[in-house]
């Protein structure tokens, strides 16, 4: 049984992957999607979205990273997958689940679930262009506006060469509206012989138990549930192994928040850094009332020096670096 950290554009970047995988329980994680159109992207794009490639494709905690691609051009996806493999990606993942209107309007993400034959061609082409020893995995939703074609899509992915399928148990039109339809994950697993991961609405340990019972699969991918409860994967992993675990208190999470802010200050411009912290606090409010207090305190704060001091850093101690811009082309 594996627990994966879901890729979420604009939220789970290398900083968030670092602090969340440090909590334990996560078996692997995925980059934000790399958008592929019709050309081979430069190395700097991969270094920006996946700086872990320079560290054996692992987070500082040692959690393996997969590089996720999104697009609809089979050859361009195949070329970029091959490049990512050359740069050290141990697994390539293809995104067929993104519900973004912008992405769908440019023939990427969940809209491709309307055409299982296109899914097959994409996966087949990417698989053929990759080294034999590097696995190819895929992520899908139940469909675009109906789950009726979910099994056809899953078969297309498996037949094309996908080694695993993560199923977000909603359609594109469902968005993120509860509930997730875990019973459809069971139907998908029935028609493919490769491992299937359940994704969607796993916020608590009880949710994991129910998901496992309804979906019939052991593997899960967790996104918003982990961002709002950073040690949820650790709690699930301990339950899986029969070990008692006490969830961390708000006070016990403070070193993690401090480290998150330190990295945000290092890698993001001062004008955008406060917004990143507030974005996370807004999600932590779901489980920690203290996060609401801190969010209210910082709501109108735009001065990074003020937040630096709040986390115990001296004024001028933290500086924005140009590290990612210095990576080779």
Arithmetic mean of pLDDT, 167-183 = 96
Question: For residues 241 and 237, what is the distance between their CA atoms, to the nearest angstrom?
Answer: 6
- Which CATH number covers residue 51? 3.20.20.70
User: Which of 169, 170, 235, 183 lies closest to 204 in space, CA to CA?
Assistant: 235
Question: For residues 139 and 126, what is the distance between their CA atoms, to the nearest angstrom?
Answer: 14
Confidence of residue 322 (pLDDT cuts 50, 70, 90): low
Domain end position, chosen among 220, 240, 260: 240
Question: Would you give the distance in Å from CA 152 to the centre of its chain?
Answer: 25
Q: Are residues 228 and 322 in the same domain?
A: no
- Which CATH number covers residue 286? 1.20.225
- Look at residue 246 and tell me if it is in a domain: no
Arithmetic mean of pLDDT, 151-164 = 98
Question: Given this model, what pLDDT does residue 104 score?
Answer: 78
- Look at residue 221 and tell me if it is in a domain: yes
What is each CA distance from 26 to 10, 146, 248, 317, in whole angstroms? 20, 31, 16, 32
- Give the domain range for residue 265: 251-326
Q: Are residues 179 and 258 in the same domain?
A: no
Confidence of residue 80 (pLDDT cuts 50, 70, 90): very high
Confidence of residue 107 (pLDDT cuts 50, 70, 90): confident
> What is the chain's Cα-based Rg?
20
Q: Token match 């996560």: residue?
A: 26
Average pLDDT over all residues of the chain: 95
- Look at residue 32 and tell me if it is in a domain: yes
Beta-bridge mates of residue 197: 166
Arithmetic mean of pLDDT, 168-176 = 96
Beta-bridge mates of residue 139: 95, 166
- Look at residue 312 and tell me if it is in a domain: yes
Residues 6+ apart with CB under 8 A from 276: 15, 264, 268
Q: How many domains does the chain have?
A: 2
Per-residue pLDDT for 101 more than 90? no
Question: Given this model, what pLDDT does residue 320 score?
Answer: 81
- Look at residue 258 and tell me if it is in a domain: yes
Q: Can you give the pTM of this predicted structure?
A: 0.94
DSSP 183-204: HHHHHHHHH-SS-EEEES---S
Beta-bridge mates of residue 94: 69, 138
Catalytic residue positions, numbered: 98
Arithmetic mean of pLDDT, 200-205 = 98
Higher pLDDT, 323 or 193: 193
User: Which of 265, 247, 278, 254 lies closest to 308 in space, CA to CA?
Assistant: 265
Q: Are residues 139 and 210 in the same domain?
A: yes
Domain end position, chosen among 206, 240, 274: 240
pLDDT tens sequence across 273-311: 999 999 999 999 999 999 999 999 999 999 999 999 999
- Burial class (CB within 10 angstroms; exposed 0-12, middle 13-18, buried 19+) of 266: middle
Domain end position, chosen among 183, 207, 240: 240
pLDDT tens sequence across 179-200: 999 999 999 999 999 999 999 9
Per-residue pLDDT for 327 more than 60? no
- Look at residue 233 and tell me if it is in a domain: yes
pLDDT tens sequence across 213-255: 999 999 999 999 999 999 999 999 999 999 999 999 999 999 9
Per-residue pLDDT for 326 more than 60? no
pLDDT tens sequence across 9-64: 999 999 999 999 999 999 999 999 999 999 999 999 999 999 999 999 999 999 99
């Amino acid at each position: 049984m594996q627990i994966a950290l879901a890729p979420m554009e604009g939220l789970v970047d290398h900083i968030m992957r670092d602090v969340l995988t440090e909590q334990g329980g996560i078996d692997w994680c995925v980059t934000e999607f790399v958008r592929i159109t019709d050309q081979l992207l430069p190395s700097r794009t991969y270094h920006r979205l996946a700086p872990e490639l320079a560290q054996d494709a692992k987070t500082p905690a040692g959690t393996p990273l997969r590089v996720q691609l999104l697009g609809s051009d089979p050859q361009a996806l195949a070329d970029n997958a091959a490049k990512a493999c050359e740069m050290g990606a141990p697994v390539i993942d293809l995104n067929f689940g993104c519900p973004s209107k912008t992405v769908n309007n440019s023939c990427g993400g969940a809209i491709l679930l309307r055409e299982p034959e296109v899914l097959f061609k994409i996966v087949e082409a990417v698989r053929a262009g990759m080294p034999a020893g590097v696995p190819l995995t895929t992520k899908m939703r139940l469909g675009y506006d109906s789950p009726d074609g979910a099994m056809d899509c899953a078969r297309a992915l498996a037949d094309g060469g996908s080694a695993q399928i993560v199923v977000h148990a909603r359609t594109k039109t469902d968005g993120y509206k509860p509930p997730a339809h875990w019973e459809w994950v069971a139907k998908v697993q029935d028609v493919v012989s490769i491992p299937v991961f359940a994704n969607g609405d796993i916020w608590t340990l009880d949710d994991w138990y129910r998901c496992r019972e309804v979906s019939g699969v052991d593997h899960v991918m967790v996104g918003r549930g982990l961002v709002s409860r950073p040690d949820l994967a650790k709690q699930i992993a301990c339950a899986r192994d029969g070990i008692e675990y006490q969830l961390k208190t708000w006070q016990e999470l403070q070193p993690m928040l401090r480290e998150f802010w330190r990295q945000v200050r290092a890698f993001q411009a001062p004008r955008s850094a406060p917004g990143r912290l507030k974005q996370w606090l807004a999600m932590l409010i779901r489980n920690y009332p203290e996060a609401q207090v801190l969010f209210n305190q910082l709501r109108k704060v735009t001065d990074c020096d003020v937040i630096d001091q709040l986390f115990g850093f001296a004024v001028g101690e933290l500086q924005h670096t140009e590290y990612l811009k210095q990576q080779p082309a």
